[in-house]
Amino acid sequence: MNFENTLSFALQLDEQDNLKSFRDEFLIPQHNGKDIIYLCGNSLGLQPKSTKNHINTLLDQWQNYAVEGWFTKGVEWMYFHESLQQSLAKICGAKPKEVTPMNNLTVNLHMMMVSFYRPTKQRYKILMEARAFPSDQYAIDSQVQFHGFNPEDAVIELGPRNGENLLRTEDILATIDQHKDELALILMGGINYLSGQLFDMETITKHAKQYGITVGFDLAHAMGNVPLQLHNWGVDFAMWCSYKYMNSSPGGISGIFVHENNFNNAEIQRFAGWWGYEKATRFLMTRKFKPEEGAEGWQLSTSQMLLLAAHKASLDIFDRAGFENLRAKSEVLTAYLEYIIDGVNEKAGKIVYEIVTPRDKKQRGCQLSIIAHHPEPKTVFDKLADNGVIGDWREPNVMRFAPVPLYNTFEDVYRFGEILATI
């Protein structure tokens, strides 16, 4: 598509957008009486208008049924999480029994490592990308230490080549080859939170599997953002949060994927909790743990009903929009943001805002990470905020902006460019 840096062109694209009505289903914060330009869905998604109704329905049920809400026909909180499995499975390319909402992201990261990081004297190392989100670094280091190993030796952090911002797939595969007899686990982000780079999860998984290496992904920045086929790719496990692209409340409930190939593996250990017990006999309260088949067998505690209600409000919107439609818009919307930023640089006669996220749409979601080449880069970000643009700042000089297809418009992107050019 040949883009134009004009308001009329942006409005024309919005008019042609088949998903334009979904913006009206979200609450847009205000700045000086106008909708803010919210480009921070990669950190916290906006609130669907339906969220309040979903939560109020749950509160009414609590009021009217109290404890009987777990069992009363038509309410049955006991099985509420099952109503989300089909939606989650479509988003991540899984079978419904391979996914379940539960806990929070870092809790699930630890829970999955309990089951899938089983080091031996020979195979004990973990491969991850350098500059992963700190929670992943902390969790992985602590798990390695828990098993009696030294993270300096056991954790391989692979970064870009000198002078580059992105991690090459060929370097990932070469590192797997180099350490094939030592690696117990590959655990990477599906998308690196800082650069916005989408890793080739299919190729990485296939390459690792030939050596018998377990593979997992943190999908915090990928779930609800990019196409996933976890089942077909043969990924062993994954986890994600729901409060970014899936708009399911601040700190909202997390979720996991466990490939069905692992369901009946007697060698897999897990930290058990009663909500993961076989549903048909859970209330017999027997002493020995018998897991429910599928990902639900990794559940721990009673479902967090208010968080599940908020999650369902957003997932219902995903079902109606269709993820393929969202991805199609996302690719064009992000490309337009790229075009607008390039235009600001062209007008300045130099690279003031360097896009470090891949320009290949197959290697990114809707986030663009920008290095601000400015004596005081934080002042640029602050001035954007003063003008009603909300993005995300990462020290020392990275700004992250994400035009989310459910609620962002081409006009948002154009207006962002207008403001950025004045700074």
18 in any annotated domain: yes
Q: Three-state secondary structure along 367-416?
A: CEEEEECCCCHHHHHHHHHHCCEECEEECCCEEEEECCCCCCCHHHHHHH
**Residue 74 and residue 112 in one domain:** yes
Among 294, 320, 346, where does a domain finish? 320
pLDDT of residue 268: 93
User: The CATH number of the domain where 261 resides is what?
Assistant: 3.40.640.10
85 in any annotated domain: yes
- Rg, Å, the chain Cα set: 22
| Nearby residues of 261 by Cβ (< 8 Å), 6 or more positions away | 234, 236
Digit-coded pLDDT (tens) for 64-115: 999 999 999 999 999 999 999 999 999 999 999 999 999 999 999 999 999 9
pLDDT of residue 38: 98
Burial pattern 138-148, b for ≥16 Cβ within 10 A else e, equals ebbbebbeeee
257 in any annotated domain: yes
- Report the sign of the C-alpha dihedral through residues 244, 249, 252, 254, in that order: negative
**Residue 156 and residue 191 in one domain:** yes
In one letter, which amino acid is 335? A
387 in any annotated domain: yes
**In which residue are the tokens 């075009």 written?**
339
**Residue 66 and residue 17 in one domain:** no
43 in any annotated domain: no
Domain coverage including residue 341: 7-35+323-422
312 in any annotated domain: yes
Q: Is the pLDDT of residue 176 over 90?
A: yes
Q: Is 129 helix (H, G, I), strand (E, B) or coil?
A: strand
Q: Is the pLDDT of residue 411 over 90?
A: yes
**Residue 330 and residue 302 in one domain:** no
**Residue 198 and residue 242 in one domain:** yes
Q: Is the pLDDT of residue 266 over 90?
A: no
Digit-coded pLDDT (tens) for 44-66: 999 999 999 999 999 999 999 99
Digit-coded pLDDT (tens) for 204-218: 999 999 999 999 999
Total structural domains within the chain: 2
41 in any annotated domain: no
**Residue 271 and residue 409 in one domain:** no
**Residue 337 and residue 311 in one domain:** no
Q: Is the pLDDT of residue 396 over 90?
A: yes
Q: Is 45 helix (H, G, I), strand (E, B) or coil?
A: coil
Q: What is the DSSP string of 257-283?
A: EE-GGGTT-TT------GGGB-GGGGG
Instruction: Give strand ranges (E) for 284-332.
Output: none
**Residue 30 and residue 16 in one domain:** yes
2 in any annotated domain: no
**Residue 263 and residue 297 in one domain:** yes
